[in-house]
Amino acid sequence: MKKKSQADSPLRVLLVGDVMLGRLVNEMLKEQSAMYPWGDTLPLFLEADVRICNLECALTDLGAPWAVTPKMFHFRSDAKNVETLTAAHIDAVSLANNHTLDFDVEGLLHMLSTLREASIRYAGAGATLSEAASPAIWNVKGKTIGLLACTDNQPEWEAFDEQPGVWYVPISLEDPRAKQLLEAVRNTKASVDLLIVSVHWGPNWGKAPPAEHVPFAHALIDAGADIIFGHSGHIVRGIELYRDRPILYCAGNFIDDYAVDDVERNDQSYVFVVEYDRQAISRLLLYPTVIRACQARRARQGERRVIAARMRRLCARLHTAAGWFEQAECQEIRVK
């Protein structure tokens, strides 16, 4: 029997939602190792082929808190904490969110330099609109991966030709910026095998995706996106399969120091692993997690049942079946 080569095995793309390394997490990293925030989820990262997160803080030692418009929270993590990202072998981060410029343009530019020096790719922010709207592209196991990232948060941070900022795109298919995003998706898909579109969108809270997110996500897939990686709402929302491509409407919080809402449970999330096999996505594996003491942890048996039951209900509303894969202690969504 011919042994299956590594090139023949599915490409495993790991996604986690908001990774906030500021405030108390930053203080903890002055005493703990760079690996600490990942907890016992770290082996899942090391087993994956591609690892992407939404970096929900300014990773910089420079800049003053943003003061041009009112802002309640400013999240800064010391630049040395890029080691936390490299400890998990993070390949790329989304920077299109509402904390990237928490320490103004100086902090943003220093963060971009820090990420480049650590060989971590980024999308969604830049020194110009062209940079912010450019895809991160790299090769893994003979496949070309592309990442685009945009946000409808913080319109005052919108990047322009000569203005650093984020790729700001209103969630309205009639807006010219949305049409430019769709064109970027079409152009990028022409040169990659697997295209991930990260969208930091919508308000906080609420288990159901906002109504306007559904046609917007569908349009992104129609234009060529293979995975919609949504986040911003602090809690996990259901997953829809559209044209055999997954839409993660909100991946929730993965690492932070936030107060926990007893109803919304913003401390509960997942490690999402998408398997790409023979030119198509074959399945998703969802490993339940919980945040404890500024650290992501695999959920325990009782917690797993509660988190998994909620996800089954949320997915069922989107006509997606989320079963339980006992061998891996995770949920499984079959695409084919």
Per-residue pLDDT reduced to its tens digit, 222-267: 999 999 999 999 999 999 999 999 999 999 999 999 999 999 999 9
Distance, CA of 245 to CA of 168 (rounded, Å): 24
What are the two backbone dihedrals, phi and then psi, of residue 195, each rounded to the nearest 5 degrees? -115, 120
Distance, CA of 244 to CA of 331 (rounded, Å): 18
Identify which of 175, 184, 187 has the alpha carbon closest to the alpha carbon of residue 216: 175
User: What average pLDDT score do residues 153-169 get?
Assistant: 97
User: What average pLDDT score do residues 135-159 get?
Assistant: 97
pLDDT range class, residue 83, cuts 50, 70, 90: very high
Distance, CA of 138 to CA of 121 (rounded, Å): 9
On the question of pLDDT at 279 being above 90, the answer is no
**Cα-based distances in Å from 277 to 6, 133, 145, 186, 249:** 12, 28, 14, 22, 23
Average confidence score pLDDT of the chain: 96
pTM: 0.96
**One-letter identity of residue 163:** Q
pLDDT digits (tens, 9 = 90+) for 86-97: 999 999 999 999
User: What average pLDDT score do residues 63-67 get?
Assistant: 97
pLDDT digits (tens, 9 = 90+) for 24-50: 999 999 999 999 999 999 999 999 999
Instruction: Decide: 285 and 331 in contact? Cβ < 8 Å.
Output: yes
Query: Six-digit token pair at 316?
Result: 């069922």
Identify which of 178, 175, 181, 156 has the alpha carbon closest to the alpha carbon of residue 166: 156
Identify which of 322, 229, 252 has the alpha carbon closest to the alpha carbon of residue 284: 322
pLDDT digits (tens, 9 = 90+) for 291-323: 999 999 999 999 999 999 999 999 999 999 999
Counting Cβ atoms within 10 Å, is residue 31 exposed (0-12), middle (13-18) or buried (19+)?
exposed
Alpha-helical regions (H) of the chain:
23-28, 42-47, 82-87, 104-117, 129-132, 176-189, 213-223, 301-317
Q: Can you give the length of the chain in residues? A: 336
Q: Residue 245: beta bridge partners? A: 242
| The CATH fold of domain 6-334 | Purple Acid Phosphatase; chain A, domain 2 (3.60.21)
pLDDT range class, residue 144, cuts 50, 70, 90: very high
